[in-house]
Amino acid sequence: MTLSFGTRLRTAMDERGPLCVGIDPHAALLDSWGLTDDIAGLERFTFTVVEALAETVAVFKPQSAFFERFGSRGIAVLERATADLRAAGGLVVMDAKRGDIGSTMAAYAETFLRKDSPLFSDALTVSPYLGYGALKPAVDLARESGAGLFVLALTSNPEGAEVQRAVREDGRTIGATMLAHLAEENAGETPMGSFGAVVGATLGDLSSFDLDINGPLLAPGIGAQGATPADLPAVFGAAVRNVVPNVSRGVLRNGPDVAALRDSAHRYADEIRAAVAG
């Protein structure tokens, strides 16, 4: 029987350290590595990251858009990288932020969450702003496949607040409503559920939100965006042990040197582990 994503994530973070490395091959980053903004550059960048980190980092978050922009050849690179990362023991969270209704949502789910799909990933980021219930095809297929979801709840971009902090008629914000849905999905799961939230590490005091959803909290913003590992306990409180801190540029700017990439990832993992341990 396939272990749930929540179980596999807990094990990976305990063994390899609580770190997620984003794989974001945008043009400026390729240029900083001395690479061309084309398929050759994309391949060199992607598989250097795989070589450097696949066997030691717990979680990887490829940003699908940076591969999709190269068409079918870019998606082929993403397929290979996803398979290679998973084969080396890393967990892949596909950052595609899909969200739709009915058969279209089901098709998105099949793309990333069906076990025999070329892009099968351990988890998928999804947008719930057509209504949380519209995510049901993804929720159902994730359960069937032993995969997980990360639902946008309290994102770090300033524009997000106009939706996520809007207040419903019952007095609860939209973001809090999404957290409550996820807590329901994860009820009774051990060591934690597979349905997580995206919550920005740069948001400061979030004590007015109940982050104890018994599931993972994907936390972008560590490193170049300004948050530090030491900030995590103040932001996430009692839920900090389930935080999956994402670092992208903070690690990737050290490439293309493989040893420098490894050293940077190890430092972040150690700093985060120490901060979480208190």
* Burial of residue 94 (number of CB atoms within 10 Å: 0-12, 13-18, 19+): buried
Could you say which architecture CATH assigns to the domain 3-94+122-132+145-275?
Alpha-Beta Barrel (3.20)
Residue (of 5, 9, 26, 29) closest to 18 by Cα position: 9
Question: What's the average pLDDT block by block, 10 residues per block, for the chain (278 residues)?
Answer: 92 97 97 98 98 98 98 98 98 98 98 98 98 98 98 96 96 98 98 98 95 98 87 96 96 97 97 92
Supply the pLDDT for residue 1: 59
CB 213 within 8 A of CB 197: yes
Cα-based distances in Å from 177 to 51, 66, 134, 151, 180: 40, 31, 14, 12, 5
Can you tell me whether residue 48 is helix, strand or coil? helix
Name the strand (E) or helix (H) holding 68. Answer: helix 64-68
CB 139 within 8 A of CB 166: no
Domain borders along the chain are 3-94+122-132+145-275
CB 223 within 8 A of CB 244: no
Longest dimension (CA), the chain: 54
Q: Which residues are 197's β-sheet partners?
A: 151, 217
* Burial of residue 156 (number of CB atoms within 10 Å: 0-12, 13-18, 19+): middle
Catalytic residue among 61, 97, 115, 136: 97
What is the separation of C-alpha 236 from the centre of its chain, rounded to a whole number of angstroms?
16
CB 177 within 8 A of CB 187: no
Residues, the chain:
278
Supply the pLDDT for residue 226: 84
Tell me if residue 97 is catalytic.
yes
